[in-house]
Amino acid sequence: MIEVSETSLQSMLEKAVNEAKINHTSPLMSMTKEIKKIDPILFFEAAKKSAMDRTFWSSTADNFTVVGVGSAYDLIAETNRIEQTEAVWKKLLDEAIIHNPYETPGTGILALGGMSFDPTKQKSVLWKNFPHLAFTIPKFMLTEWEDACYLTMNIQVGKDDHPLQLADKLKRTEDMLLNTSGYLPEEPDIDKTEEVAPTEWKRTVKYATDFIKEHSADKIVLARERLVRLTDEAVVSTTLNKLTDTQPNSYVFAFERAGDCFVGASPERLVKQDKNDVLSTCLAGTAPRGKTKAEDARIGTSLLHDEKNRREHDFVVKMIRQSMENFCSSIDVPEEPVIYPLKNLQHLYTPVNATLKEGYSIFDIIGELHPTPALGGVPRNKSLAFIREHERVDRGWYGAPVGWLDSNRNGEFAVAIRSGLIQGNQASLFAGCGIVKDSEPEAEYEETNIKFMPMLSVLGG
């Protein structure tokens, strides 16, 4: 990684072209500057004019948002995905030429993306535009953190490129992106919704409880799908705006690929990295919110003392702690969970703080943690085998890690729940729940209905 002090875009590009000629490489050139405040969602909407794919990530509790436009480089892997991606990422950073005088997380070279829940499962046509793993280093990137705003331009440069022409083209696109309209289009209404084989799903729940009672597993997470048809093409920027307004304490995300867009608002952090400090989250055990403060408190207290939900939560806590021990030291886990409130739901929550050991990265932790018991089951191999054989839905990226990492050893990944895949005027929504030996199919079905609500409500339902 070459850190440079030049502030002229053209001089940066000249240096990158010279590096390409001398070293016979195609380095990434990255330049970050602070700009006046701009609404990230309006920036996302303005990027639609560019005809480039867009990415969006927001941690609503941290006042942190990243919007990516286009691709300077795509990291894509179908097999050995974690190891292969980390090797390519390291090589890119070693050769990169970076001007970034800020310590702000989410600036400089940053990759946003995710992966499929199960890379051994053949993709259906629904997820044809989403590889088993795909991370994008955006060509243009807006980062909002607390009260500051930054614009980063990334471009891969070759030995035959012309710095002046590249600089002129980048500047024209920058001007277009920063020229926001000041308003968002109206979201269309829902025309109709359709549940995918609900009776069959309930039968699968019953079969899973029988399977568990035979001591073949402790917990199996089953997901199902709900189809939504809109009166017109979905407006992703408006959907994101509604999600950020209505889903506090969540990670709001959108990953656009060839016109399809995977969108959601997940409350479940998988892992966060700040240099050597890492934080994971155990979020398992679910109940609805009450209509009054008193009812809400009663439901929360009941959730804290509910045997099924506590057992489900303890599965996740134990697994995350054991996984972190392989790569971390100074692991701190509270003895009891607390309630984590969201708009429609409340969950049992336990944070896990640790220090990353030398030689390990956020990729190591992701590879070890996924899938957590909250999305796969316990034991992992038996529950995944059951899901592969009996679950009708193709989860795609649902339930898998999505997030970002940057060139300054910062990053954050969430588990992609409360989400859906938007394709034109249609959306496939996904929800799941953990099945244990005393699960009742009808009760689990109603729990998934609650979990559909965050996406249904912002799509006009």
Q: Which residues are annotated as a binding site for Mg(2+)?
A: 312, 447
Tell me the CB-side half-sphere exposure of residue 15, using CA atoms within 13 A.
Answer: 20
Q: What tokens were used for 452?
A: 């559909």
DSSP 349: E
Q: How far is CA 181 from CA 38, 39, 42, 45, in A?
A: 11, 11, 7, 9
**Cα 66 to Cα 411: distance, rounded to the nearest angstrom:** 12
d(CA 52, CA 203): 43
- Which positions are catalytic? 219, 268
* Gap between the Cα atoms of 108 and 425, Å rounded: 35
Strand partners, 33: 151
Q: Which residues are annotated as a binding site?
A: 312, 447
